[in-house]
Structure formats: C-alpha cells, structure tokens
Structure 1
Amino acid sequence: METKMLDAHIPLPLAERLDAMAIDLAQPRDEIVTEAITTWLDREERRRIAALRTIAAANTIVLVEHHRVIDWADSL
C-alpha cells in the first residue's frame, strides 16, 4: 500500500501517552496512529450518513387529512 507522510503537532502529554502505548504494545507509533485515524474517520462517516438520512427524512412531507387527525385525537 502506498503511504503519505503527514506531520502533526500534538500536545506533549498526548505524545508521551502514544510513546508509552507503543512500547507497551510493542507496536510502531505509526500503526497506532493509523488505527486511531481509521477508527475516527469510520465513526465520523457513519455519523455524517446518519445526519444526512435524518435530514432527508425531515424533508419528506407527509400529509394527513384533517378529519383523520381529528378521528385519531378523538380515539385517545
């Protein structure tokens, strides 16, 4: 797989946590970061799709005849 080098400035405490996790897991930092970014992107894409579906549903107009509403209210 092709890769692209990205530079990111992250807070020192976060970098220290990343270094510690990489040591604990005996895993390179770039693998941990790649997994974290993948998980975040997947979650955000799911949230975006859910939001778009909600907007689409809200834009769907459903008309109900007045007398049906009255009948329903009377049945309560």
Structure 2
Amino acid sequence: MSVTLDLPDDVVRRLTAEAARRGTELADVIAALAAQLPAADRPARHRRLAFVGAGASTSGITPKMDELLEDGFGQD
C-alpha cells in the first residue's frame, strides 16, 4: 500500500538516519515503529491516580492527575 505523509524535515532526517543505521529502507523503519503501537482493536486503558483522601474528590488535584495520565504523562 502506498501512503503519502507530510512530515517535518527533522523527523524525516531522523527516520532516514535510522534507516541508514539499520541498513534498511525508510518504509521498514516506519513499519517497525508502527508495529510497536497498541492493536487498534484493543481499548485504551483508562488509568487513575488516587491518594488516600483524594480518590473521590471532584475538586482539587485528583481530576488534574487523571487528566495528565489520560494525556500519557509518564509514558515512554
């Protein structure tokens, strides 16, 4: 399948450099990176962070912590 992407120049340079480092094609590097993504049919995990006395709070820090976790805070 053929796909056209409009990527920033620095991203293209990094991908091209990685392909050269691996001795492979750019498409192979992109495919390898895509293979690391979660399966499309697997639902996203909704993580919650709660502390004693803050878990049921609708105000304060708990909603902000949940928002940060949903945005991927702390994930590599």
Give 2:34's match in structure 1, choosing from 34, 37, 45: 37
Larger radius of gyration: 1
Deviation at 1:37, TM superposition (A): 1.4
Query: Does the C-alpha gap of structure 1 residues 46 and 36 become closer, same or farther in structure 2, counting only changes over 3 Å?
Result: same
| Aligned 1:1-76 pairs, distance under 5 A | 4-40=1-37, 42=38, 48=44, 50-51=45-46
Structure number with greater CO (CA < 8 Å, separation at least 6) is 2
- Report the identity percentage: 13
Runs of 4+ in 1 over 4 A off after TM superposition: 43-47
Unaligned 5+ runs, structure 1: 55-76
Is the helix fraction higher in 1 or 2? 1
Scaled by the length of structure 2, the TM-score of the pair is: 0.50
Q: State the superposition RMSD in angstroms.
A: 2.4
| Matches of 2:9 and 2:28, distance apart in 1 | 19
Unaligned 5+ runs, structure 2: 48-76
Scaled by the length of structure 1, the TM-score of the pair is: 0.50
